[in-house]
Amino acid sequence: MRLVIFGVSNLLGNILDCALALGLTPSLVVMNMPEIVRPRTRSASDRVMRVPTPPRIVQLEEFSPQEGERYCLGTTSPRRQTLVEDISSRFGIKCCTLVHPAAYVSPMSSLADGVFIGAGAIVGAGAELREHVYVGQKVTVGHDAVVEPYARLQHGCNISGHVRVGYGATVGSGATCTAGTGNWPRRSYSSGDGCRRRRCRTVPGRRHTGRVQEHLVIALDMVVP
């Protein structure tokens, strides 16, 4: 089965690794926008050349669906919902769910379309992962937790039982989110253990960053009254 990957990010290598581990053949990487290569990142061309049979890189305008293909996202950008809607309206296709064979997913959990689960991750009984959730390597999602669409759980974070992670939220590497710390809102960022929420004012055209500390969450789209 051939795998077509739409969009690229620093996590493209994880998608390619999962595909190979599942016995899929990455055949195309479809670029939906110009790639930005920063000093500490690798280009898509460099990443695909590490695959034994490198997939071709094409532009979205060049792509047309073929028989025997499966589809997934290669980007975890907050704008990926627009890409999903675009390929659905243009081509009538949906993204598949990819679970690395080195992950454990409880048969009593539920995974929606487009979910990605990396190597070493654990998804507990009763957990719900909704559309296009990204679960990085060695993430733990506890029993009965709910992760809303387009959320991103970065490598090694821990989502305890009964926690709800909001739509489009990002939980940072190594964070531990427990039921006692509340529900994580839309477009939040957390890092460190025992995270708490903090509100900050958003300014159009500016990227909000903060020091990565214990007990820090930045809610990127919440405005202080």
Residue limits of CATH 2.160.10.10 in the chain: 97-225
CA distance 157 to 177: 8
Tokens of 127: 């957990």
Q: Which CATH number fits domain 2-95: 1.10.3720, 2.60.40, 3.20.20, 3.40.50?
A: 3.40.50
pLDDT of 191 strictly over 70: no
Where are the domain boundaries for CATH 3.40.50 in the chain?
A: 2-95
Q: pTM of the predicted model, to two decimals?
A: 0.82
**Residue showing tokens 């990819």:** 98
The topology (CATH level 3) of 97-225 is UDP N-Acetylglucosamine Acyltransferase; domain 1 (2.160.10)
Overall average pLDDT of the 12-33 stretch:
96
41 pLDDT tier (thresholds 50, 70, 90): confident
pLDDT at position 172? 87
Which amino acid type is present at position 12? L
C-alpha 82/C-alpha 90 separation (Å) is 12
Specify the DSSP element, H or E, that contains 123.
strand 122-123
pLDDT at 158 over 90: yes
Q: How many residues does the chain have?
A: 225
Grouping H, G, I as helix, E, B as strand and the rest as coil, residue 138 is: coil
d(CA 56, CA 64): 14
Please say if the pLDDT value at position 222 is more than 50: no
| Higher-pLDDT residue of 176, 6 | 6
The rounded distance, in Å, linking the Cα atoms of 188 and 154 is 13
Name residue 28's beta-bridge partners.
4, 56
